[in-house]
Structure 1
Amino acid sequence: MSLPQLNLYRHDRESRALITLAGEIDLDTAPLVRGSLEECLRDGIRTIDIDLTTVTFCDCSGLNAFLHASQQTSAAGGSLRLHHPSPLVARLVDLTGCGALLLGLPSGHPAPPLRGGLVPTDPTSPHWPAPVAPALAGGGR
């Protein structure tokens, strides 16, 4: 059995977490994403920022993991936002009408077409250090 083609990095600051994903989010790796986001809530995190800069692929199972986590985070009084989606992820979010929920875009506003910080609001502080340890498929941080 091969390991999933996804690395996940998490950096916490009080009740906020920056999750950086690198690789592919698909049927095999979406459970890792989902579990990680659920762990954030169990740890008291209420603001979750997800950096997708180095995500090379995301299918509907990945989108479902983000939507589920967004719903759970909102129910806990928090927020979840995706940042720097690739054109593929932006298109997936746009086609499904999830831009307002996952990207914080006004309703009916198309997702940004390119990478590189074109999401209108990016609350992730530039002072946050780069994550240093990849998560393992078994759920470590």
Structure 2
Amino acid sequence: MSLPRLTIYRHDRRNRALITLVGRIDHATAPRVRAALDRCLDDGIGTIDVDLTPLGSCDDSGLKVFLDASEHAAREHASLRLHHPSPQTSRLLARTGAAPRLLGAPRAPVPPPHRRDPRGTASPSSPYGM
């Protein structure tokens, strides 16, 4: 009995899906990844986060799936982001120039600066000008 080359887990929360990929993505498993990502968009998911932490390797066919899914998401006014790629996958993304598009900018929260309200007490400033 052989082990599956790729296992796909999906966890939804409201309009967001976390897809965790375990194993490897190659020409044989890439269609399963494509189907899982397309299904998220068909289900109306607005944000797809793909956790690559347990992914062993990803070849060019996997990269094409991620790029195509990112374009599909953009057409649907959704987003797709890869998280925690392995060193091998990071090199693939960097070598092909796909890293900025698929990894996106870091989303670390930035604390708002404090300002004084008219009563003279400090209050956090609002990004909405309130």
Under TM normalisation by the shorter chain, which class is it? 0.7 to 0.9
Percent of matched pairs sharing the same residue:
57
Amino acid at match of 1:43: D
TM-score by length of structure 1 reads 0.73
Summarize the Cα distance change of 1:58–1:17 in structure 2 as closer, same or farther, 3 Å threshold: same
Q: Is structure 2 residue 23 aligned with structure 1 residue 23?
A: yes
Amino acid at match of 1:82: L
Structure number with higher relative contact order (C-alpha < 8 Å, ≥ 6 residues apart): 1
SS in structure 1 of the partner of residue 107 of structure 2: coil
**Aligned counterparts of 1:13 and 1:55: Cα–Cα separation in 2:** 22
Amino acid at match of 1:13: R
Shift of 1:4: 4.5
**Aligned counterparts of 2:27 and 2:99: Cα–Cα separation in 1:** 22
For residues 31-55 of structure 1, the C-alpha deviation after alignment (integer angstroms, 9 at most, x for no partner) is 0000000000110001000000011
Q: Is structure 2 residue 103 aligned with structure 1 residue 121?
A: no
**Aligned counterparts of 2:108 and 2:7: Cα–Cα separation in 1:** 22
**Aligned counterparts of 1:122 and 1:7: Cα–Cα separation in 2:** 29
Q: Could you list the structure 1 runs, at least 4 aligned residues long, displaced by more than 2 angstroms after superposition.
A: 120-123
Shift of 1:102: 0.1
Matches within 5 A, 1:92-103: 92-103=92-103
| Structure 2 unmatched ranges of 5 or more | 110-130
Matches within 5 A, 1:97-112: 97-105=97-105
Shift of 1:14: 1.2
TM-score by length of structure 2 reads 0.79
Amino acid at match of 1:38: D
Q: Looking at secondary structure, tell me which structure has more strand per residue.
A: 2
Summarize the Cα distance change of 1:3–1:75 in structure 2 as closer, same or farther, 3 Å threshold: farther
How many correspondences in the alignment?
A: 108
**Aligned counterparts of 1:25 and 1:43: Cα–Cα separation in 2:** 23
Summarize the Cα distance change of 1:75–1:87 in structure 2 as closer, same or farther, 3 Å threshold: same
Matches within 5 A, 1:1-141: 4-105=4-105, 120-121=106-107
**Aligned counterparts of 2:4 and 2:61: Cα–Cα separation in 1:** 14
